[in-house]
Structure 1
Amino acid sequence: MNQQKPPLDPHPLSEYVAWAGGRNREPLLGVLKEKLPKDPGRVLELASGSGMHINYFAPHFEHLHFHPSDKDQSVFDNIKQLSVDHSNDNIADPVHLDLTDPTTWFNPGNAGSFSAIFCINIFQVAPISIADGMMECASYLLDDNGFLLIYGPFRVEGQFTTDSNKEFHETLSSAGVSEWGLKDVADLKKAAEKHGLELKEQIDMPSNNFSLIFGRK
């Protein structure tokens, strides 16, 4: 059943975010089934928000242990409640991780300890400046073969790939919040280069989105 699109609202517990998450979770699950390791490991989600994605993915990978995180600690109860509701025993309690504050991720016990990191639908409402922190964080936390997956709509070399993405960008820009709008893949690649990462794959996804997969050079 197709739910009517709610009004644009980037708050992680909003109806709009729930609607968008419901549309993209199956295609994303398909990518993760192809890319996540078959051996036991740890997987980190950045900006977990409500926890809808990590709680949907985790049951499909019983050999992996999932770690939600967010800058906004007010969403933690919702993440934990979803884990209880879905009986997901391979999801850790959420932790505070602020991509603008390295002290929240620089932990010697976690260095190189994650097989994968993913971040979903954040850059259209976040400043591109957090890309530097995201790449530094990923470089520190990922193991040698690990990858960072960033999902969402993006411009490519300054161009909108579809008319609908251009319209979405204009809708975001009209809200009057300076950081809202589609960011450019090129800027993520520049940030990755600074921290020893590179774009390994750019996967076309439904609804004119991309899965961008970064790994070590």
Structure 2
Amino acid sequence: MSDNKPPLDPHPLSEYVAWAGNRNREPLLGVLKEKLPKDPGRVLEMASGSGMHINYFAPHFDHLHFHPSDRDVEVFDNIKKLTTEHGNDNIADPVHLDLTNPETWFNAGTPRSFDTIFCINIFQVAPISIADGMMECAANLLSDDGILLIYGPFQVEGRFTTDSNKEFHDTLSSAGVEEWGLKDVADLKAAAAKHGLELKEIIDMPANNFSLIFGRQ
């Protein structure tokens, strides 16, 4: 894939999303190698999109079973195509999980059935209101000592941590879509607290992104 940055396009099958995913997958893999359980277990990805991340990560964790999910069922064929092409037999078929619709939250499994849940690059193009659904869903699905990992660019306590993040926020905002823009970690913490979760760790990532690690209080 070219190193040239494609035009901004948040569609999960766009060249831009593929470019961004290719750039961040190695640093994310490093975090997952540290945070994922060493014993057999189950891992859920929320908002899997094209499936590029889950299919890149899964071969590194033969002892874990990965479960992709997304609100948009139109991406399911691409997820399954990548799974077949990569020969990843530890990835389940994708399931419909809409963070605004509680009726879908247990499509992926039963309460306390996941050791880890991760979600990559969703909040800059999603309304902050989905944080409440994400945290409630995670609180239901995570095991007692499970974690929720949220990756992406964020504001921290009402400020941009770098000029480039401010520029990215302004670019997103200029598109005229109300929910586009960098959200604040404080809002995620507030949503988590409502459902018995708390921010355990903030990991600085390349390109001025963060991995936010939530667990039970």
Question: TM-score, with normalisation over the residues of structure 1?
Answer: 0.98
Separation in 2 of the partners of 1:153 and 1:127? 14
1:89-168, aligned counterparts within 5 Å? 89-106=89-106, 110-168=110-168
Q: CA deviation at 1:181?
A: 0.1
Separation in 2 of the partners of 1:53 and 1:107? 20
Separation in 1 of the partners of 2:109 and 2:183? 33
Q: 1:11-51 deviations in whole A, cap 9, x for unaligned?
A: 00000000000000000000000000000000000000000
Q: 1:97-141 deviations in whole A, cap 9, x for unaligned?
A: 000001101469511000000000000000000000000000000
Structure 1 residues 51 and 144, CA gap change in structure 2 (3 angstroms): same
Q: 1:146-205 deviations in whole A, cap 9, x for unaligned?
A: 000000000000000000000000000000000000000000000000000000000000
**Could you tell which deviates more after superposition, 194-203 or 102-111?**
102-111
In structure 2, what is the equivalent of residue 192 of structure 1? 192
Supply the AA of the counterpart residue of 1:3.
D
Separation in 1 of the partners of 2:81 and 2:156? 38
Separation in 2 of the partners of 1:68 and 1:129? 22
Moved >2 Å (runs of 4+)? 106-109
The answer to whether the aligner puts 1:19 opposite 2:3 as a matched pair is no
In structure 1, what is the equivalent of residue 6 of structure 2? 6
Structure 1 residues 32 and 108, CA gap change in structure 2 (3 angstroms): closer
Q: Is the 8 A contact 2:71 2:98 kept in 1?
A: yes
In structure 1, what is the equivalent of residue 46 of structure 2? 46
Secondary structure in structure 1 of the residue aligned to 2:103: helix
Supply the AA of the counterpart residue of 1:74.
E
Separation in 1 of the partners of 2:31 and 2:106? 28
Supply the AA of the counterpart residue of 1:198.
E
Separation in 1 of the partners of 2:167 and 2:37? 37
Q: How many residues align?
A: 217
Supply the AA of the counterpart residue of 1:156.
V
Separation in 1 of the partners of 2:109 and 2:29? 29
Q: Is the 8 A contact 2:69 2:108 kept in 1?
A: no
Secondary structure in structure 1 of the residue aligned to 2:161: coil
Structure 1 residues 67 and 7, CA gap change in structure 2 (3 angstroms): same
Q: Give the aligned CA root-mean-square deviation in angstroms.
A: 1.1
In structure 1, what is the equivalent of residue 212 of structure 2? 212
Structure 1 residues 107 and 17, CA gap change in structure 2 (3 angstroms): closer
